[in-house]
Amino acid sequence: MGENVGTTRKNIVIGVGGGIAAYKVGSVVRHFTEAGHHVRVIPTESALKFVGAATFEALSGNPVSTEVFADVPRVPHVRLGQEADLVLIAPATADLMARAASGRADDLLTSTLLTARCPVLFVPAMHTEMWEHPATQANVSTLREHGATVMTPASGRLTGVDTGAGRLPDPQEISLLGELLLDRPDALPYDLAGVKFLISAGGTREPLDPVRYLGNRSSGKQGYALARAAAQRGAQVTMVAGATSNLPDPAGVEIIRIATAAQLADEIGKRAPETDVVIMAAAVADFRPVQVSDAKIKKSDSGPAPIELTTNPDILAGLVAARRSGSVPRSTAIVGFAAETGDLQHGVLDHGRAKLARKGCDLLVVNAVGEGKAFGMDHNTGWILAAGGEETALPLGSKTLMATRILDAINAVRTDGVGAEGRCP
């Protein structure tokens, strides 16, 4: 679960559909049980052909049943849904989503779905043709209209030799979104459909020689959380990613890998003119070596030779300038990040305000950094500063939760048409 953040015990129902990806769901069950939650697994009959009941009973510590007539005195087909704080369905097969969308109650899982009044998260997994079929897409729309969250599936290797959209997202990503809905049930409205996002994430690395580089402590977790949340809210997301901490690729996100600040600037510059929202969450190196050695720099008795540095381009300021010149549309929202430390004269927020004034972006997310703060952590805190002077505190919470708050602020900027100089009419 990351840092020492208190966890309230919740009742979680994990429904398992009859797909080959059912074997991955054990990791999701383990995640929530190890976090201290009470987990009940409800498989379909078909799911038990892939993974036996004993596996889910051992991982959850609770009995497993598919029938509404099991434990009749407790009326489980009603109680399980009524008492749940989260219902998570993975894999959500085409058949299971069709039954759920039409309100069927022909087994314990679909009956539980009808009585649940908590957040419901469907995690689809099926072959591409099944996912793209108009009937499945209509069922997905119906489930969303009924208030459920339906994840965008990942793309990749399916069963057999097939590849494409329809792969079950990484279990870690599923667990993160489940945690998010426990923290904030309304965190993933499908309100960004068709909006094009360009997000940078991770740290850049400026080479000294074939072995060494100048870098920073960024893990990429906040940028990945933003990409994940935006994609699940319907956005078309492209992420330009530098060095990260072996994070799973967010489902439904196009990822472009880069290493240096110059490469990042090039990719952002090419894609920004066709983007509705640009979020610069990457930790970009301010400096790079003037010269890069072709061979590993050797130790010397006289000590290390001085390393001459030069300044990297200011990508965020360049984006704002491009918008003012018209090469990036005036309607494009630009969001920056500031990782700051206080000093004897000024606090973190003071430095953030000054940076917002210099950069001229619409929103600036300010984080205090240091030992045990922000970089590499699963949780974060900070402020959102708006060009119009509004300041919103971000209380301590998961980086995925913070991402949803940032997306809300971006939506407000886009809806109200209030932004930095160059966007206002």
Binding-site members for CTP are: 286, 296, 313-316, 337, 355, 359
How many alpha carbons lie under 13 Å from residue 296 in its C-beta half-sphere? 4
CA-CA distance, 164 to 129, in Å (whole number)? Answer: 9
Task: List the structure tokens of 177.
Answer: 């979104």
CA-CA distance, 2 to 398, in Å (whole number)? Answer: 9
**CA 382 distance to own-chain centroid:** 18
CA-CA distance, 101 to 146, in Å (whole number)? Answer: 8
**What b/e sequence results for 342-376 when a residue is b if at least 16 CB atoms lie within 10 Å of its CB, and e otherwise?**
eeeeeebbebbbebbeebbbbbbbbbbbeeebbbe
Q: Which residue from 80, 169, 191, 184 is spatially nearest to 122, judged by alpha carbons?
A: 169
CA-CA distance, 406 to 412, in Å (whole number)? Answer: 10
Q: Which residue from 18, 92, 29, 12 is spatially nearest to 51, judged by alpha carbons?
A: 18
How many alpha carbons lie under 13 Å from residue 97 in its C-beta half-sphere? 33
CA-CA distance, 194 to 215, in Å (whole number)? Answer: 35
CA-CA distance, 283 to 270, in Å (whole number)? Answer: 19
Catalytic residue numbers? 216
Per-residue DSSP letter, 249: P
Query: Angle at Cα 352 formed by Cα 348 and Cα 354, nearest 5°?
Result: 120
Which residue is associated with the tokens 């108009």? 134
Q: Say if CB 370 and CB 380 are below 8 A apart.
A: no
Task: List the structure tokens of 291.
Answer: 């010269």
Strand partners, 41: 14
Sign of the alpha-carbon torsion through 223, 227, 233, 237? positive
Report the binding-site residues. Answer: 286, 296, 313-316, 337, 355, 359
